[in-house]
Amino acid sequence: MKKRRIITIVIGFLCFSAMWIIHDSIAKDDGGFGGVDQGKMMEEWQELITPVTEHKALDFFVGDWTTKIKIWMAGLPMESEGTVTFKWIMGGCYLCEEHTGQMMGQAFQGMGINGYDKVQKVYSGIWLDNMGTQILNYSGSCDASGKVFTYYGKMDEPMLGIYGKQVKYVTRIINDDKYEFEMFDLHAGENVKMMHVTVQRKK
């Protein structure tokens, strides 16, 4: 068994070495990879990681805010308050939001990472919090005014036996110091609201 393992490791090493030699040879022979110029590849890569106008639309959110939250559980509204801070990360490619507050009588922590995907040409993001173990993914667009962001995603409700539920997220910029966030349960209906958050910039 030990001899077989040693032979496997040696073969793996030889295969890796051969692949690297071929890779290096191709790069030297044609000045790139598969005929593509390395300098051009670097230029395209640099362009790809540079934030654009769509990223600037998210710049509005940077800073510290207070939140007033209303959620509907079994048709009954529950209200709470909290705070959220937005900041750019990764050289301005992603906007990180960190929430603290109360939710259903418990201390709440939440985090979102948002950005604009220049390849897919959509806004996208992820969300996670201490109220569960799901990492939610969503994507969408911003309207022509630059003030209304609409995302769609999926989430599970295991306590209700619902999985892959379609959800819509709408963020509306009201003025320079205020925006609103709404979450809709598309499984229950187009306008069935699950959450409404009023967010005010700290002075």
> pLDDT-derived band of residue 35, with 50, 70 and 90 as boundaries?
low
Most distant pair of Cα atoms in the chain: their distance: 71
Given a cut of 50, is residue 7 above it in pLDDT?
A: no
Task: Let me know how many helices (H) and strands (E) the chain has, helices first.
Answer: 3, 12
Clarify whether residues 32 and 103 are in a common domain: no
Given a cut of 90, is residue 45 above it in pLDDT?
A: no
Clarify whether residues 59 and 39 are in a common domain: no
Clarify whether residues 131 and 183 are in a common domain: yes
- The pLDDT score that the predictor gives to residue 64 is 98
> pLDDT-derived band of residue 184, with 50, 70 and 90 as boundaries?
very high
Clarify whether residues 80 and 132 are in a common domain: yes
CATH number of the domain within which 105 lies: 2.40.128.20
> pLDDT-derived band of residue 94, with 50, 70 and 90 as boundaries?
very high
Averaged pLDDT, 179-191: 94
Nearest to 156, CA basis, from 146, 166, 142 = 166
Nearest to 170, CA basis, from 156, 184, 153, 189 = 184
Given a cut of 70, is residue 23 above it in pLDDT?
A: no
Clarify whether residues 37 and 94 are in a common domain: no
Given a cut of 60, is residue 107 above it in pLDDT?
A: yes
CA distances from 38 to 20, 23, 48, 99, 101 (A): 17, 13, 15, 43, 49
Contact call for residues 113 and 96 (beta carbons, < 8 A): yes
Given a cut of 80, is residue 1 above it in pLDDT?
A: no
Clarify whether residues 57 and 34 are in a common domain: no
Given a cut of 70, is residue 2 above it in pLDDT?
A: no
Separation CA 154–CA 185 (nearest Å): 10
Clarify whether residues 36 and 62 are in a common domain: no
User: Range of 23's domain?
Assistant: 2-48
Averaged pLDDT, 104-113: 93
Q: What is the pLDDT of residues 69-91, one digit of tens each?
A: 999 877 788 999 999 999 999 99
Q: What is the pLDDT of residues 130-172, one digit of tens each?
A: 999 999 999 999 999 999 999 999 999 888 888 999 999 999 9
> How many domains does one find in the chain?
2
Last residue of a domain, one of 48, 68, 84: 48
pTM as predicted: 0.78
Least confident range from 61-65, 89-93, 96-100, 104-108: namely 104-108
